[in-house]
Amino acid sequence: MKNDKKIKNSAIVVGVLFLIVGFIWFFYFKNKKNDSISNFLTICKVECGKISPCEGKTVSIAGYLDLNNISDEKFLIQDIIGKLPKANLEVDISGDKNNKENIVKKINDLARNAEKPIVITGTVAGFDMPTNGNCQRGFRLNLSKENDLK
């Protein structure tokens, strides 16, 4: 009788633990927000000439289109709407001609509602940027699929 009670109590404890882990997974991983530009740049920051752990990784970043910086090859997103963003990020458009045209068309459609944030999923590329006698590591996203722009 005592062993049956211990087994029953152990089964309840294990069940509760599974529920807790399930809720954590659902609310953290399943509903995880897209990274902000500022947070992304802070996490990826490294010295010039060094490779960041972010480089080559695929990330999703939320931001606002910079309407003054959109071309057929690239565009900028910024963390806030306006002329003085806290941070911005260049997004290079890659792929064949048809793919690029579809991406540019989608960007232009999204630009009609510029006060709404967009989410871009792309591959991180790093580069060294000389700045007034110093140097810092910069980053850009490579966007190659129309569906990676929402």
Q: What tens digit of pLDDT does each residue of 97-133 get?
A: 898 999 999 999 999 988 899 999 999 999 999 888 8
- How many degrees, rounded to 5, is the angle at CA 51 between CA 46 and CA 55? 100
pLDDT value at residue 31 = 39
C-alpha to C-alpha distance for 93 and 102, rounded to whole angstroms: 10
- Say which CATH topology domain 35-148 has: OB fold (Dihydrolipoamide Acetyltransferase, E2P) (2.40.50)
Considering Cα of 134, then 127, then 58, then 97, what sign does the dihedral take? positive
pLDDT value at residue 131 = 81
Asked whether the beta carbons of 149 and 70 are under 8 A apart, the reply is no
User: Would you state the structure tokens that stand for residue 80, as one six-digit string?
Assistant: 């806030």
- 125 Cβ contact list (under 8 Å, min separation 6): 55, 56, 92, 139, 140, 141, 142
Q: What tens digit of pLDDT does each residue of 9-65 get?
A: 666 655 555 555 454 444 443 334 568 898 899 999 999 999 999 999 999 999 999
pLDDT value at residue 27 = 44
Q: What tens digit of pLDDT does each residue of 55-95 get?
A: 999 999 999 999 999 999 999 999 887 666 678 899 999 98
Length of the chain, please?
Answer: 150
pLDDT value at residue 36 = 87
pLDDT value at residue 28 = 40
Radius of gyration of the chain (CA): 22
Q: 1 vs 110, which has greater pLDDT?
A: 110
Global pTM reads: 0.73
- 85 Cβ contact list (under 8 Å, min separation 6): 66, 78, 79
C-alpha to C-alpha distance for 15 and 44, rounded to whole angstroms: 39
Q: What tens digit of pLDDT does each residue of 128-147 get?
A: 998 888 898 999 999 999 89
